Structure 1
């Protein structure tokens, strides 16, 4: 396992805070042993917690031309038909994956193809399970067109804890299935909007892994 590049600054800031806090406690409360040990333990837990947020585990990623691969680790919280208002403006099959703070936070391309649309939206930080988060939270929208002509829209959505969305794609890019397209710090949600009739192989509350779990098959 390695540490993702998006974690370097956060980890460095965490170490700085831990160093300053422990130095202050050692200087000001050197004679209170229990307090010093409490701060040591809290500091260690904090460091390990931040470190696991940015882990990048080694995986054998799945690549299959006709399949749609899950773009993120997490739990499936939505599988339903809905109207996609931003790009398609028609009925689509929505699949949403919620990423908790303990999940890997890397986002991966569900299909290979060409990026036909990209847009970043600043916004609020409602809880990721709030239905309004899809349209009111900070988010990005990416549409990738498969070589067969089928477009798939996927959206990074920030949550109550996530305060920074990172993306690595732009319109016109050729992207490869299961490769990184972005990162959401401290978790949130990824929504996919698929053509009606897409065969989905997931169930609600199923735990999935980005770049590995097969979501469904392109129509």
Structure 2
């Protein structure tokens, strides 16, 4: 039973048409040349797993800020938030999670609250791991305000391969921590802007799991958890 759960990971509905297209092309390739069928089959399986939507165990402690995506913590730096987030012009800590094409790309709310702002910007498709991607790439900015008045910014950034950002929420919606709020197709990055004075509990190079990895704790804002790669 456990092996079945590992192999048969649920797929998000956003991926159904893409898997169907890949499968149709695979069948067509089989008629042209048998070895091409196996190449198409492998690509179809990859597409299925790209859109996988596994169950996550979401921490329920009050004040936690969770990773919105699977991937690697690629950047942690103090920056002035983008104006469209509505977070003011004082520098805050930004934590970036880079997703490659093999990561799960379903995005989860980093904290519970009300969606106060959503702003979409067209842009370039630079490698999402570089710093300038947060300013130049296609992106969708979401600002969530908690019941205590804390404001968190989370930005979906398209990458070198990504060509579509999907957001499932709208302004005024209530979201629960760890619940699905969007998806980015084929390689990208998520930036999380922490409230002023809140320090991250992750380190650059650390692997993050969306909806499970704790990025920060609003109840202990000054705590820092450094890391060393070995």
TM norm structure 2: 0.87
Give the structure 1 partner of residue 104 of structure 2: 104
Q: How does 1:116-127 map to 2 (within 5 A)?
A: 116-127=116-127
2:15 is paired with a residue of what secondary structure?
A: helix
The yes-or-no answer on 1:15 pairing with 2:62 is no
TM norm structure 1: 0.91
User: Matched residues in 2 for 1:85 and 1:40: separation?
Assistant: 47
User: Matched residues in 2 for 1:68 and 1:131: separation?
Assistant: 22
Q: How does 1:133-148 map to 2 (within 5 A)?
A: 133-148=133-148
Confirm or deny: 8 A CA contact 2:66 2:215 kept in the other structure: yes
User: Matched residues in 2 for 1:10 and 1:136: separation?
Assistant: 27
| Structure (1 or 2) with the larger CA radius of gyration | 1
Give the structure 1 partner of residue 13 of structure 2: 5
User: Matched residues in 1 for 2:56 and 2:95: separation?
Assistant: 23
User: Matched residues in 2 for 1:22 and 1:110: separation?
Assistant: 44
Moved more, 55-64 or 189-198: 55-64
The yes-or-no answer on 1:58 pairing with 2:66 is no
Give the structure 2 partner of residue 213 of structure 1: 213
Q: How does 1:27-42 map to 2 (within 5 A)?
A: 36=34, 38-42=35-39
Aligned-residue RMSD, C-alpha: 1.2
User: Matched residues in 2 for 1:7 and 1:140: separation?
Assistant: 20
Gaps of 5+ in 1: 26-35
Confirm or deny: 8 A CA contact 1:65 1:111 kept in the other structure: no
Q: CA deviation at 1:169?
A: 1.1
Which of the two has greater strand per residue?
1
User: Matched residues in 2 for 1:19 and 1:150: separation?
Assistant: 52
User: Matched residues in 2 for 1:83 and 1:208: separation?
Assistant: 24
Gaps of 5+ in 2: 1-8, 222-230
Give the structure 1 partner of residue 131 of structure 2: 131
Give the structure 2 partner of residue 160 of structure 1: 160
User: Matched residues in 1 for 2:159 and 2:123: separation?
Assistant: 10
Q: CA deviation at 1:150?
A: 0.8
User: Matched residues in 2 for 1:55 and 1:68: separation?
Assistant: 23
1:142 is paired with a residue of what secondary structure?
A: strand
User: Matched residues in 2 for 1:59 and 1:151: separation?
Assistant: 24
Q: CA deviation at 1:194?
A: 1.1
1:84 is paired with a residue of what secondary structure?
A: coil
Give the structure 2 partner of residue 68 of structure 1: 65
Confirm or deny: 8 A CA contact 1:4 1:55 kept in the other structure: yes
User: Matched residues in 1 for 2:139 and 2:49: separation?
Assistant: 23
